[in-house]
């Protein structure tokens, strides 16, 4: 049984999180998130699934090359080709890890149609193969919490004997409960020969809303690695949220005496960045990172808070990186004030980047009396780039109680200006119709989401638009004090991303028909 009280944080935002339909990130966004995770003190970054596509492979390789402190891990199925490709990508890291998995529960065994013995042999062979390439190998029996107890013990033992250094126990479908989660890890550590020589990890999904509780319970049972994602991003109801387990261990260290290396003051920044690039907005009342997590609106609460913060707060906003009382900037604020404020928010920008943001800041300050920290973050994270093929030049929308609404739009498409006038059922519909008229496409709108960056009628609106074309999905974002302009820019941003994806697209790797020993 592991005795150290240090819990390793394994972040899988870029793999399990990104796997969530619609959460696809661009290459540069993945590099940026990996850098933020590394700086925050994450022990292991699961950077992707290298065999899944050339894009995934390139991202994992690049993240491995750029890694500073974190171990860089790639995922691979239980076949030699996957494992080799994974190694090719992670081997550049200062500290590489191969993660290989296979579904061991009755339902998952039925997919490759393997008997228990055949699967056991495959586990032995593939873990051995991985270990011959890399000293650091993680093995996962997918759907472990629904795998027969005896068989789970048998395959965990085989993986340990074959050289796995971390055994991850996934609750793939979010089925377990805290008491069971602790008990499962405890019993595995007690019963499986060799268990003392490896680290046990917990990997929980949130289908029943118990991922955080299950992960913490697994630690009580002896797990010393928690697998999680920023904002709990992940398929279906998501994965365990990194910010929740880390803050729970910090705030309730009296009853859970475990430590992590996470610099919790970096949580808010990375949470917002992941929300922006994934297009998955954080719910307002989400623990730790939700907009309302530290807001005390009601009179009784405010009174109590003024007398003593601890009346209604179990942690300080500063602990997760929310600036205390921060004065907003205004239209008279200069470049130096902007630079100082951005530095306070954790942005160390080059002069040309600062100049660019200063122009946007002045434009915003002309339209909005007070520019708050959140407004500045939205400005820094504007998504448009000089390489975009489609750009919005101007938009004028006429609204009225007697529809239809009309949008007059000028766009630049591959360097040439084009214009049109389109009508629609509401200003946003008219605007999207104008874009479609100027740039006909077959992409389908999957999601349109608006949220206010700050309070007040002059607040900026952040708009997320998710589009789908032939199975490729892209999310675009934009922020503006004018919701319709933000909507147009977000829609165009999503189209630009789809175009990049279309140019880079390649068929996914098909596991069917591939022998696991094919190299």
Instruction: Say whether 394 sits in a helix, a strand or coil.
Output: strand
Residue 142 binds which of Zn ion, ligand KIV, none (CB < 5-8 A, kind-dependent): ligand KIV
Closest to 311 (Cα-Cα) out of 319, 323, 300: 300
Binding positions for Zn ion, 201-260, rule CB under 5 A: none
User: Which partner, ligand KIV, Zn ion, none, binds residue 243 by CB below 5 to 8 Å per kind?
Assistant: none
Q: Among the candidate windows 167-175, 246-254, 316-324, 460-468, which touches ligand KIV by CB under 6 A?
A: 167-175
φ, ψ at 44 (rounded to 5°): -130, 130
> Shortest gap between Cβ of 145 and Zn ion (angstroms)?
12
Tell the smallest beta-carbon distance from residue 393 to Zn ion (Å).
44
Select 16 or 43, whichever has its Cβ closest to Zn ion: 16
Q: Which of ligand KIV, Zn ion, none lies near 140, with the C-beta cut-off 5 to 8 A by kind?
A: ligand KIV
Q: Which residue has the tokens 């946007």?
A: 360
Decide if residue 138 touches ligand KIV (CB under 6 A): no
β partners of residue 6:
259
Closest CB 84 distance from ligand KIV, rounded Å: 18
Instruction: Give the binding-site size for Zn ion (rule: CB under 5 A).
Output: 1
Q: Distances from the Cα of 8 to the Cαs of 33, 89, 287, 335, 417, in angstroms?
A: 19, 22, 21, 41, 53
User: Which residue's CB is nearer to ligand KIV, number 207 or number 363?
Assistant: 207
Cα distances (angstroms) measured from residue 197 to each of 7, 73, 508: 16, 20, 37
Lay out the site mask for ligand KIV across 192-221 (x = CB under 6 A, - = otherwise): -----------x-x----------------
3 state SS of 463: strand
Nearer to ligand KIV, 105 or 260 (CB): 105
Cis amide prior to 404 (ω within 30 degrees):
yes
State whether residue 14 is helix, strand or coil: helix
User: Least distance in Å: CB of 119 to ligand KIV?
Assistant: 15
**Residue 30 vs 203, nearer CB to ligand KIV:** 203
User: Which CB atom, from 45 or from 365, has the smaller least distance to ligand KIV?
Assistant: 45
Q: Is residue 174 near ligand KIV by the rule CB under 6 A?
A: no
Q: Do residues 420 and 438 touch, judged by C-beta distance below 8 A?
A: yes
Q: Where are the alpha helices (DSSP H) in 231-386?
A: 242-251, 267-278, 299-307, 335-344, 351-367, 373-380
Using the contact rule CB under 6 A, the part of the chain among 66-74, 165-173, 302-310, 467-475 near ligand KIV is: 165-173
Tell me how far apart the alpha carbons of residues 34 and 49 are, in angstroms, rounded to a whole number: 14
Q: Is 16 in the site for Zn ion (CB under 5 A)?
A: yes
76 neighbors 83 (Cβ within 8 angstroms): yes
The only residue of 52, 142, 167, 392 in contact with ligand KIV, by rule CB under 6 A = 142
Q: Does 170 help bind ligand KIV (rule: CB under 6 A)?
A: yes
Cβ-contact 99, 140 below 8 angstroms? yes
Minimum CB–partner distance for residue 203 and Zn ion (Å): 6
The values of phi and psi at residue 174, to 5°, are: 60, 45
From residue 369, alpha-carbon distances to 342, 366, 478, 495 in Å are 18, 7, 20, 32
Element (H, E) at 411: strand 405-413
The answer to whether 18 contacts Zn ion (rule: CB under 5 A) is no
- 172 contributes a contact to ligand KIV by CB under 6 A: yes
Going 507 to 508 to 510 to 515, the CA torsion angle's sign is positive
Q: What distance in Å separates the CA atoms of residue 171 and residue 294, rounded to the nearest whole number?
A: 31
- Give the nearest distance from C-beta 218 to Zn ion in angstroms: 14
∠ at Cα 79 (77, 83), nearest 5°? 70
Q: Which one of the spans 35-43, 152-160, 168-176, 490-498 is the region binding ligand KIV (CB under 6 A)? A: 168-176
- Residue 16 lies near ligand KIV (rule: CB under 6 A): yes
Min dist CB 335 to Zn ion, Å, is 45
Among 87, 101, 294, 358, binds ligand KIV (CB under 6 A): 101
Q: Select from ligand KIV, Zn ion, none the partner in contact with residue 101, using the beta carbon and a kind-dependent cut-off of 5 to 8 Å.
A: ligand KIV
Question: What is the three-state SS of 417-461?
Answer: EEEEEEEECCHHHHHHHHHHHHCCCCCEEEEEEEEECCCCCCCCE
Enter the tokens of residue 2.
């592991």
Tokens 């589009």 -> residue: 467
Q: Is 171 in the site for Zn ion (CB under 5 A)?
A: no
Partner touching 279 among ligand KIV, Zn ion, none, CB below 5 to 8 Å by kind:
none
Give the residue at shortest CB distance from ligand KIV.
170
The binding site for ligand KIV (CB under 6 A) comprises 16, 101, 140, 142, 168, 170, 172, 203, 205
The binding site for Zn ion (CB under 5 A) comprises 16
């Amino acid at each position: 049984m592991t005795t150290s009280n240090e819990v390793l944080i394994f972040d899988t935002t870029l793999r399990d999180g990104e796997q969530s339909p619609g959460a696809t990130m661009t290459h540069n966004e993945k590099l940026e998130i990996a850098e933020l995770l590394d700086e925050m003190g994450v022990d292991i970054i699961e950077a992707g699934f290298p065999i899944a596509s050339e894009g995934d492979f390139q991202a994992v390789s690049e993240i491995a090359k750029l890694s500073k402190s974190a171990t860089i891990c790639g995922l691979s199925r239980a076949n030699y080709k996957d494992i080799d490709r994974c190694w090719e990508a992670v081997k550049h890291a200062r500290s590489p890890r191969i993660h290989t998995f296979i579904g061991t529960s009755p339902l998952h065994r039925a997919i490759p149609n393997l008997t228990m013995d055949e699967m056991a042999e495959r586990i032995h062979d593939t873990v051995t193969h991985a270990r011959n390439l890399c000293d650091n190998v993680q093995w996962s029996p997918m759907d472990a919490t629904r795998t027969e107890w005896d068989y789970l013990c048998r395959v965990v033992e085989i993986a340990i004997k074959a050289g796995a250094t971390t055994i991850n126990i996934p609750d793939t479908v979010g089925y377990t409960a805290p008491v069971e989660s602790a008990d499962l890890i405890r019993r595995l550590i007690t019963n499986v020969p060799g268990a003392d020589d490896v680290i046990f990890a917990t990997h929980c999904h949130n289908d029943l809303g118990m991922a955080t509780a299950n992960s913490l319970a697994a630690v009580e049972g002896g797990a010393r690695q928690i697998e999680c994602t920023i904002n709990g991003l992940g398929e279906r109801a998501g994965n365990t949220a990194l910010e929740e387990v880390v803050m729970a261990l910090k705030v309730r260290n009296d009853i859970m005496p475990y430590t992590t290396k996470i610099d919790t003051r970096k949580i808010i920044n990375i949470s917002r960045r992941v929300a922006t690039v994934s297009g998955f907005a954080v719910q307002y009342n989400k623990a730790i990172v939700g907009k309302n997590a530290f807001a005390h609106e009601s009179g009784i609460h405010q009174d109590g808070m003024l007398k003593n913060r601890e009346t209604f707060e179990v942690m300080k906003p500063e602990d997760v990186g929310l600036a205390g009382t921060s004065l907003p900037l205004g239209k008279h604020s200069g470049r130096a004030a902007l630079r100082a404020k951005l530095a306070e928010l954790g942005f160390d920008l080059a002069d040309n980047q600062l100049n660019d943001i200063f122009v946007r800041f002045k434009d915003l300050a002309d339209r909005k009396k007070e520019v708050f920290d959140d407004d500045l973050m939205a400005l820094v994270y504007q998504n448009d780039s000089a390489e975009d093929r489609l750009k919005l030049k101007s938009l004028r929308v006429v609204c009225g109680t007697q529809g239809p609404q009309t949008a007059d739009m000028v766009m630049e498409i591959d360097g040439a200006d084009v214009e049109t006038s389109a009508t629609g059922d509401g200003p946003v519909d008219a605007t999207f119709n104008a874009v479609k008229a100027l740039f006909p496409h077959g992409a389908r709108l999957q999601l349109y989401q608006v949220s206010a960056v700050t309070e007040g009628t002059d607040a900026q609106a952040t708009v997320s638009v998710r589009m789908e074309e032939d199975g490729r999905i892209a999310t675009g974002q934009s922020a503006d004090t004018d919701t319709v302009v933000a909507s147009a820019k977000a829609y165009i941003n999503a189209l630009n991303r789809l175009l990049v994806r279309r140019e880079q697209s390649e068929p996914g790797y098909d596991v069917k028909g591939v022998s696991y020993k094919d190299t």
